[in-house]
A and B are shown apart, each in its own frame.
Chain A
């Protein structure tokens, strides 16, 4: 072909490579980033005309051939790589790269002459669908489906949380507003009853008369009742005497006691606990029988509150129910119970003995503490009797009780426990000897000081010795010549450290 001859002329000795390039271009037609144009002189004029751009080499060749055939000469093929015109040498180099890296799609269009046309026609009649489509790839990749599933779940949860947070916030604000409204409704009638009405006048009021004064349609709503109960309880905590009686009268006349007792019968532990707090605070003694079941509740909060309320409301202040309790009595419960007992007018008559005989150790310990805190000297004898078979914890409490009550008659028992190997018991005994000790105590302490002991015991021994016989203490420190005793003596002599 004329064009090939032209090329060979141009590139001379590289004719073989040039031929291979042309053959390659003819074979594949389209090359990535390459385009072609043909230039010629139109109408025998001087100006060269450039054809349109061909992306397929074969189309450009066909156009060039048509110009030849039409007698338009001279014609020339122009090569463009990335829209930039290149000489044939560059084209050869570029094609070389394309070939080396297989960056082309072979033009394997069916050749009618090879007899496979029928096969292609048949293949084209099949319902072909591409196997690798993006969407199907996602759906068939189980890992990806799981990933997207979890992601969606998290996103939904986050959005839900966001909504929920703002919902909770607005709900809380709504509730607070409602409670404030109810408090506002309750405030005036309550202060009227308390400060305008006498107790007799309040007693004379019926439910309807009282309820009418609140002037609200919400009276039957539990939210209103709960607010009213809280308001009454708050006032009850801060007021005394007649006012308390009036508040209690209002509480019962408005049948709020029934409402509280109803809570005691609920299955929900929160309701039960709320009910016990209400009957305890408002002194609703008719609720005592309902508390019986709750005394042995599995729920700590219910049990604690029920025990406290029962003790507060039962007329005889009988503690025997505690001695039957199988659950250990925590120190927290003991604190609560003590507070109830302390505020009981007849606390001196409380039967502590039943507690001391309980099978439950924590109940016995509570009993011992009560002896101490209520100053029950009449039970000292019982404590002495139980000392020998008591547990360590009980023995510690008994000694503390003896100290608090200055149980002088128990000094022999104290001397005995002072000899114990149990450091805590010996220390408590030594401390007690400082209060109820005698000459024998002094001798025992001096004897024990002969050997070095832990700091805490030596400090207590010297302190007790200083109470019993200051001279002996000074002598002991001088005599035993131990730096620890010296420093303790200085500490004991320092007025600022009296209670440390």
Chain B
């Protein structure tokens, strides 16, 4: 009796893994096709726009750039200067010092001639107390507002910024990101182009700045990072931004806009209550909540994505830091999906509820668990003597080539539409990374994500420390 039940279970698991694998292949092939179409369309459209024409237009909406900073004293001045030199006429930069323990605020006050003001604002969203709001006495820095507040985490800092923001749109960025000079006007385009739906948020492509040359706040020379982990993340960002997000944007199913670079409709963000500080996945959570609100109100809306890399960031190149980051991302995903589980397979939430949300649950959140179960299943089969080496090897090679193929598509798209890594040997290095990744990086990633699941269950939270090597070449380039 028990033996029969066990055999049935083994068979059922076998069928489940087969169907899951089949679904993964079909879905990612669809994503690749959709992203290819979307990229092609955006690329063609971009050829006919001269952004310089509209940078100074009085008809464009204003943008408040919100950049939370925590213990960033060393690089803060340079980063703020870079933000103040963007090519756009109607914007303000709001730096939120989230209770830094270093000398961030002193550095800002000294370098930008800041004075405490009696800034009045409506506390639409509850935040940790604000100690002071600073403005500069120097007209050159008139766009700058600095908020000094009690520490409350990134989401809380952004909420404080939202309360103070004066413009129609908000751009939430990481303060150490490097923005392209024309990034604002490019990101505004979807907000201004759409006529039938309200564009509630726009995400932007992010590039990896490790090992690149940076001059005057712009990446001038692209190089792939030196380490395998760094190079792997270049490929991963290609896959994520050029394949995943482009495809989801095409079908208006995008659930995640990176916290490092995203534009939002301020009024809507306020309406839904701003960022949710208890979660570590505040970026995804906000987008899901905004979508949920629009679906519940039955309002036509769109979350758009711009593929051009308009923002560069430094990625961790050590296992210690990367593992913490992935652990946090996984916890953030789980938290968001748990918080809005009502949307799961719910017709009332349209495409988001029926497709995007389940996709994230099944293929993002649960993927590491299913992979882990797959490994256990294989060992059980070996133990029972029902293991077929021929099938195993064939499936293994199949999955390997599928993964390699997907990554190759993302490289192809980069090469077709952006051509950033044009130096001799760069492409070869990327392809070698693609071939190595499934063996040397993917298992570790799965482990870190599983740890994220475990930490979520155990209620272990926090952000972990992001140790940055700093844009080593920045200084060199600036000195030249």
Contacts and interface: CB of A to CB of B under 8 A. Distances in A.
Nearest to A455: B122
A330 B54 CA distance: 14
Contacts of B54: 332, 335-336, 339
Contact of B119 (A164, A330, A339, A497): A497
A67 B476 CA distance: 96
A10 interface: no
A334 to B, nearest CB: 6
Interface in A288-307: 300-301, 304-305
Contacts of A123: none
A497 B409 CA distance: 51
A496 interface: yes
B375 interface: no
A73 interface: no
Contact of B405 (A161, A327, A336, A339): A161
With most chain A CB atoms within 10 A of its CB, the pick from B54, B59, B398, B411 is B59
Contact of A330 (B193, B395, B401, B427): B193
B120 A490 contact: yes
Interface string B387-400: 00011001101100
Interface string B37-78: 000000011011000011001111000000000000000000
Interface residues of A, number: 55
Contacts, number: 128
Nearest to A329: B195
Contacts of A456: 122
A182 B412 CA distance: 27
A270 interface: yes
A301 B48 CA distance: 8
Contacts of B409: 161
A172 interface: yes
A330 B48 CA distance: 16
A455 B419 CA distance: 49
Nearest to B194: A330
A300 B193 contact: yes
B117 interface: yes
B412 A168 contact: yes
Contact of B118 (A328, A334, A454, A490): A490
Contacts of A270: 44, 47
B390 A144 contact: yes
A331 interface: yes
B416 interface: yes
A219 interface: no
A373 interface: yes
A496 B427 contact: no
Contact of A147 (B59, B145, B394, B416): B394
Contacts of B189: 332
A60 to B, nearest CB: 36
A150 interface: yes
Contacts of B135: 496-497, 500
B391 A144 contact: yes
B89 interface: no
Contacts of A301: 44-45, 48
Contacts of A327: 195
Given A150-B398, A332-B192, A158 B120 contact: no
B321 interface: no
A499 B195 contact: no
A491 B119 contact: yes
A377 interface: no
Contact of B142 (A331, A491, A494, A499): A499
Contact of A277 (B44, B48, B136, B415): B48
B195 A335 contact: no
A312 interface: no
Interface in B150-197: 166, 189, 191-196
A106 interface: no
Interface in B179-228: 189, 191-196
Given A158-B408, A161-B408, A496 B117 contact: yes
A477 to B, nearest CB: 12
A162 B404 CA distance: 10
A148 B394 CA distance: 7
Interface in A159-195: 161-162, 164-166, 168-169, 172
Contact of B121 (A147, A158, A455, A494): A455
A429 interface: no
B394 A491 contact: no
Nearest to B430: A165
Contacts of B48: 273-274, 277, 301, 304-305
Contacts of B431: 162, 165
A144 B394 contact: yes
Contact of B401 (A158, A334, A454, A490): A158
Contact of A151 (B45, B53, B394, B416): B394
Given A339-B53, A339-B57, A497-B117, A154 B394 contact: no
A167 to B, nearest CB: 10
A155 B404 CA distance: 9
B342 interface: no
Contacts of A162: 408, 431
Nearest to A373: B58
A277 B44 CA distance: 14
Contacts of B101: none
Contacts of A484: 120
A400 to B, nearest CB: 11
Contacts of A454: 122
B401 A488 contact: no
Contacts of A23: none
Nearest to A454: B122
B411 A165 contact: yes
A392 interface: no
Nearest to B121: A455
Nearest to B53: A339
A487 interface: yes
B320 interface: no
With most chain B CB atoms within 10 A of its CB, the pick from A148, A165, A166, A488 is A165
A493 B192 contact: no
Contacts of A147: 391, 394-395, 398
Interface in A409-435: none
Interface string A339-355: 10000000000000000
B115 interface: yes
B146 to A, nearest CB: 12
Contacts of B397: 151
A369 interface: yes
B57 to A, nearest CB: 5
Nearest to A150: B398
Interface in A451-500: 454-456, 459, 484, 487-488, 490-491, 493-494, 496-497, 499-500
Nearest to B195: A328
B402 interface: yes
A323 to B, nearest CB: 17
A140 to B, nearest CB: 14
Interface of B: 25, 44-45, 47-48, 53-54, 57-60, 115, 117-122, 135-137, 142, 145, 166, 189, 191-196, 390-391, 394-395, 397-398, 401-402, 404-405, 408-409, 411-412, 415-416, 419, 422, 427, 431
16 contacts: A147-B391, A147-B394, A151-B398, A155-B401, A162-B408, A172-B415, A301-B44, A331-B191, A362-B195, A369-B59, A491-B117, A494-B118, A496-B115, A496-B136, A497-B135, A499-B142
Which 7 residue pairs are nearest across A and B when measured between Cβ atoms? A455-B122, A491-B120, A490-B118, A328-B195, A154-B401, A332-B192, A331-B192
Interface of A: 138, 144, 147-148, 150-151, 154-155, 157-158, 161-162, 164-166, 168-169, 172, 270, 273-274, 277, 300-301, 304-305, 327-332, 334-336, 338-339, 362, 369, 373, 454-456, 459, 484, 487-488, 490-491, 493-494, 496-497, 499-500
Given A158-B405, A301-B48, A455-B121, 7 more contacts: A150-B398, A154-B405, A158-B404, A330-B194, A332-B192, A455-B120, A496-B137
